[in-house]
Structure 1
Amino acid sequence: MSRYVLPLSVLGTAVGGAVLLKDFVSGGACPSKATIPGKTVIVTGANTGIGKQTALELAKRGGNIILACRDMEKYEAAAKEIRGETLNHRVNARHLDLASLKSIREFAVKVTEEEEHVHILINNAAVMRCPHWTTEDGFEMQLGVNYLGHFLLTNLLLDKLKASAPSRIINVSSLAHVAGHIDFEDLNWEKRKYDTKAAYCQSKLAIVLSTKELSRRLQGTGVTVNALHPGVARTELGRHTGMHSSAFSSFTLVS
């Protein structure tokens, strides 16, 4: 029996460590019971992952939720699912392609014309470590979608947010920003060999820096601006990395 003690001990330690890691990366449940009846919320990237769970939770709390979406079929399905689970009929999807400045402008015009207020803008959508793709307007995809697209969207809706104050802007960044470096001479990676990780970190650093500056500029307006690291979760964001394909990550990452 003694020969099994060491292997079982090692196994137990590994399993225990994995459980602790899972608890650590999952974070805690939000303790707030606040409701937001009558508040209009825009969530980008809300058909799956963190964006969908955010929209679901805010719908439960009584908000008027707008799922800003590129693939309308997927977003209509997500909106229908959220309406069914929360019994909140004020959940709708609208077309928004953050890789297209034209689409962003069209979305902002419709929201401005059709919504009396916008109280919360959650800039959540992102791409991560994709190949060296470019947006419709020629920007490197990760910078274009993660930062530039949301930057334009935020500024186009800023007057509406100010008029709806108290209101807030929430930018989903990443701890990856600490490894970021912004190369102002080559933002689109036209002069260097493309590095998917560095490009992602650059986009997330850009979000943090712009959030700090926008927060400074909006002091006294009733509009608050914050950036956040959402933790680690098993979502479609990592589809270009293979980071969720192992049994270990499937166990430890939160669904």
Structure 2
Amino acid sequence: MPVNFLTSVVFDGPEVIPYWDQIKEYGPTVLPILLTLAGAKYYFHGATNTWERDMHGKVFMITGGTSGIGAQIAYELGQRGAQLILLTRRTNDQWVAEYIEDLRDKTNNGLIYAEECDLSSLYSIRKFATRWLDNQPPRRLDGVICCAAECIPRGKSRQITMDGVERQIGINYLAHFHLLTLLGPSLRVQPPDRDVRVLIATCSSQNLGDVDLNDLLWSDKRYPATQPWKVYGTSKLLLGLFAKEYQRQLMGYERKDKAPCNVRINLINPGIVRTPSTRRFLSLGTVWGLIIYLILFPIWWLFFKSAEQGAQSFYFALFAPIFMKTEGGNVVQECKIMTKVRKEYTDDDLQQKVFHNTEELIKQIETKSAIERKKHENAKKTPEQKAKERQEELNRKRDLHIKPETPEELESKLNSLRNQIGMGTGISSNEMPLFPDDETLKKVISSKKNASSNNSGGSKSNKSQKKSKKV
């Protein structure tokens, strides 16, 4: 059919083309516009990764793997045979179960799982990391891909995580800091021939952020509701500084086998992508904003990347062999390593301060959250439950078959055992305590020596008195 049509055009002229008169009239005006749009679409499409790598049998952990770029990466790696662990807020959610099942079917890969790790809770992150590390031999881990992010629309009030931290800072920065540092033992223990890569999603909005060492988590500063991108940019900037310092610490770690570090951390800037997060930000989180977003969708389609296009730089950082020849901490954009970065990325002292300050802040937040969590648990208990727990605790302390947890509990159980065998529980002032220190040992030994010398002197005087009586 196409051959016959082309033959007719050649021999009978272009008049046989349908709507030829309209094409001849409007073509000179419309054609340049179409070519311009096609060129713009090609330009904003971005670079495409050309590298390949065998993913079968490799294990990757993904945050934000259920939507946007994270979902696209999960689909691509799943098709390539990788084992995936998607960190989700809840695993008992029906939607999550159906999503995992659907992803397994689409990729024909049954090695895709979901694990509960709520990034808005440091306690949830610690529980997941503890479960992951509590295994012998250590679990295999070929990489961690951090795509999860929170972007608050303009005009919204300050939002916080379960730990009371500003939500964008808490999820984008603090959660990934906590997760990756807790997974440090798992990353460092991987065999030296394993190519381990950690990818952290960043954004050009980091250029709008700033670092305040006295208020890293934006706790004291007034929240800029009309300019929330400042907080978002700060979270991404802090994430980049953390990545640089953490890579330096991994490189400085001395393995038992003396092998060089095989872990590389890189920051990936995918560009502006049509993700749910972008849609929520542009629509201001409102219904009317969503309607306007849909009306203007051709503009977003033209100038913004799709999730598949935005994931290309992630594939490049995962597949290209050049990254194992670098020291890590690179910023990757449009499938190439950027050489021009913010000056903070070259300030080692600032990166160390940010890292250590964040560690201290996490300790304080976790301690406070643990106290609040315990108070909440106790408030929910009935008087009967509290009485039962107290009785169980008392029984546990009395039971000699249960290992004591404190020196006081051990001493109590030993006293109970002494009572049973008729030794008594009294401890004289000169008797050595159960857990003596050096000073106590010296005092007890000295007192025993004095007591023995007094006894020997007393016995001699008694003997002399008896002799004098006999005389």
TM-score (norm 1): 0.88
1:61 counterpart residue number: 80
1:41 offset after TM fit, Å? 0.3
| Pick aligned residue for 1:148 from 165, 170, 174 | 174
1:134 offset after TM fit, Å? 0.7
**1:20–1:204 CA distance, 2 compared to 1 (3 A):** farther
Q: Secondary structure in 1 aligned to 2:49?
A: coil
Task: Answer whether contact 1:67 1:93 (CA < 8 A) is retained.
Answer: yes
Deviates more, 1:53-62 or 1:238-247: 238-247
Task: Answer whether contact 1:52 1:78 (CA < 8 A) is retained.
Answer: no
**1:175–1:12 CA distance, 2 compared to 1 (3 A):** farther
After superposition, the C-alpha distances for 1:141-196 in whole angstroms (9 at most, x for unaligned) are 11110010000000111111111243121111112212221233333253324231
1:112 offset after TM fit, Å? 2.1
Deviates more, 1:106-115 or 1:79-88: 106-115
2:271 matched to 1:237? no
Q: Secondary structure in 2 aligned to 1:41?
A: strand
TM-score (norm 2): 0.50
1:239 offset after TM fit, Å? 3.7
2:406 counterpart residue number: none
Structure of larger gyration radius: 2
2:70 matched to 1:51? yes
Q: Secondary structure in 1 aligned to 2:134?
A: helix
**1:193–1:64 CA distance, 2 compared to 1 (3 A):** closer
**How far apart in 2 are the matches of 1:96 and 1:8?**
58
After superposition, the C-alpha distances for 1:9-52 in whole angstroms (9 at most, x for unaligned) are 4x655554443333333323322231122211000001111001
**How far apart in 2 are the matches of 1:70 and 1:177?**
26
- Matched residues, percent identical? 29
**1:242–1:162 CA distance, 2 compared to 1 (3 A):** same
- Higher strand content, 1 or 2: 1
**How far apart in 1 are the matches of 2:121 and 2:211?**
22
Q: For CA contacts below 8 A with separation 6 or more, give which structure has more relative contact order.
A: 1
Alignment of 1:5-20 (within 5 A): 9=29, 15-20=34-39
Unaligned runs of 5+ in 2: 1-20, 252-259, 284-292, 307-471
- Higher helix content, 1 or 2: 2
Alignment of 1:114-193 (within 5 A): 116-130=139-153, 131=156, 132-165=158-191, 166=194, 167-186=196-215, 187-193=217-223
**How far apart in 1 are the matches of 2:83 and 2:145?**
13
2:240 counterpart residue number: 208
Q: Secondary structure in 2 aligned to 1:116?
A: coil
Task: Answer whether contact 1:134 1:140 (CA < 8 A) is retained.
Answer: yes
2:304 matched to 1:253? yes
Q: Secondary structure in 1 aligned to 2:179?
A: helix
Deviates more, 1:17-26 or 1:224-233: 17-26
**How far apart in 2 are the matches of 1:168 and 1:204?**
19
Alignment of 1:68-147 (within 5 A): 68-72=87-91, 73=93, 74-113=95-134, 116-130=139-153, 131=156, 132-147=158-173
1:88 offset after TM fit, Å? 0.8
Q: How many residues are matched?
A: 252
**How far apart in 1 are the matches of 2:65 and 2:121?**
18
**How far apart in 2 are the matches of 1:21 and 1:70?**
38
Q: Which amino acid aligns with 2:211?
A: I
1:65 offset after TM fit, Å? 0.4
1:80 offset after TM fit, Å? 1.7
Q: Which amino acid aligns with 1:202?
A: T
Q: Secondary structure in 2 aligned to 1:218?
A: helix
Unaligned runs of 5+ in 1: none
After superposition, the C-alpha distances for 1:203-224 in whole angstroms (9 at most, x for unaligned) are 1111111111112222232111
